[in-house]
Structure 1
Amino acid sequence: MKKAILIIFLVLDIIMFFLYYKYYIKTPEIIKYNAKTVSNIEKNKKETMKIYIPDDKYKYLKGIDVEIPYYKDKEKKIKAILEKILPFEVKVLNIYIEKENLYINLNSKFKEIVNDSEKELYIVYSIVNTVTQVENIKKVKILIDNEEIKTVTGYLNYNKFFKQDDLLIEGE
């Protein structure tokens, strides 16, 4: 009988220890996030970026400060920026950075959106003037559905890299 009581108390002690450990001892919060997530985005941290968007009549670019998640990874940061400036129909398929050159691969909806030369000019330079603010990005090349294109409306040449153009910005 004494052995049975001793075993019951031992089992109860083990259960109580397990419950105490499970509900009262917390692991550090950082362990709950995988290392890749922690290195790419700092939880709840934001940064302010200036984006350039065309005015309603496509006559100039206006600068607007927006908040985006803070990313250490440049490609993720650029994707977050592009989501703020591209029309919702246009999707970023992928981006690639080679030294100071940025390649942006967009879906074919881009061609439908930039259906005249003024829209094309201001939407392209909205992209270029915004992403060239990211550290070490000097030139931008736009691809459509993984292919280089020569032109959309006949106004801009997509075979070359685009560089920042401050003359299109309001007040510059």
Structure 2
Amino acid sequence: MDHGHQHHAMPSSGRALTRTAVNATLHCLAGCAIGEILGMVIATAIGASNAVSILLSVVLAFVFGYGLTSLPLLRAGMAMAAVVPIALASDTLSIATMEVIDNTIVAVVPDAMDAGLGDLLFWGSLTFSLAVAGAATVPVNRALIARGKGHAVIHETGIHGGPPIPLVGALAAAGFVFGLAVLIAT
């Protein structure tokens, strides 16, 4: 189903596959980061426990991750019944991988889970963990795409959307550098 959008063959190897995996991961990272950050901010602001903070962040990461995939499809006129399986197939393993990695990093950084919203450690550990989780998820997405799964499922629709990938990449790189500097300084 093309819906009048430009559709290109999905690469199955080499640099083109890696580039596609990086782009897919950055798209996924945008949704994960929005949900993760919002969850941590809300949980920290209300003084929630570490377990509640992580749970809320994970739930919101999935909500925003699926949302960034679903909205362009819905705007293009696809039915919700068609969009849900596409979003689940294209994003679930990617989001899950990122969430395990970034929450593990934040949980093991000394005092990060106890840092307040005004603490550099809160923001540094969070941005660092998201950037590392994104980088670690690229091989997962690459393997999925090579098998016609993951982002390849959304690609089959010919419909793409979400924030500009170069912007997300620049923010991830800046988050990594900022986070690393904060972690080294603390």
TM-score (norm 2): 0.22
More helix per residue: 2
Higher relative contact order (CA 8 A, sep 6+): 2
TM-score (norm 1): 0.24
More strand per residue: 1
